[in-house]
């Protein structure tokens, strides 16, 4: 069940997939009824919800940052070294912010919505793939 650890194979297999809808970060005391956020983070200051913008709008949740969610389809091992640094550097060099949520099977990147396609192109180039 372990994922890939070899950095070369990880980068070659990134296969970034862009979700079609924008995502936002919102803060709430609890998850509103009927919502199923993509991710939650419990912090001292409150509960952060990462969810589609349309869901946040329906629930009346405030947000500032609108992001594109990109899933890296490579199955990376949580103990793999260097992949996050490599894609973070490529995006940072292009002036793109990137927030990372790591799952067991995949890493998910949240980048500025208006620059989503540029981010995907950079990630594909990092893996040696164009287009």
> Token pair for residue 72?
């890296």
| Cβ burial, residue 47 (10 Å; 0-12/13-18/19+) | middle
Chain position carrying tokens 């164009």: 130
Q: Which helix (H) or strand (E) holds 82?
A: none
Residues 27, 25: Cα–Cα separation, whole Å: 7
In order along its 131 residues, the chain shows pLDDT tens digits of 688 899 999 999 999 999 999 999 999 999 999 999 999 999 999 999 999 999 999 999 999 999 999 999 999 988 899 999 999 999 999 999 999 999 989 999 999 999 999 999 999 999 776 44
Q: Tell me which CATH code domain 7-126 carries.
A: 3.30.2130.10
% of the chain at pLDDT higher than 70:
97
Question: Domain boundaries in the chain?
Answer: 7-126
């Amino acid at each position: 069940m372990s994922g890939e650890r070899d950095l070369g194979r990880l980068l070659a297999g990134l296969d970034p997939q862009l979700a079609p809808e924008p995502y936002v970060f919102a803060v709430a005391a609890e998850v509103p009824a009927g919502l199923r956020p993509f991710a939650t983070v419990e912090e001292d200051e409150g509960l952060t919800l990462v969810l589609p913008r349309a869901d946040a709008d329906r629930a009346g949740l405030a947000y500032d940052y609108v992001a594109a969610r990109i899933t890296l389809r490579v199955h990376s091992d949580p103990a793999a070294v260097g992949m996050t640094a490599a894609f973070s550097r490529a995006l940072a060099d292009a002036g793109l912010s990137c927030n990372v949520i790591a799952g067991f099977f995949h890493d998910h990147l949240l980048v500025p919505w208006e620059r989503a396609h540029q981010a995907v192109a950079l990630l594909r180039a990092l893996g040696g793939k164009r287009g």
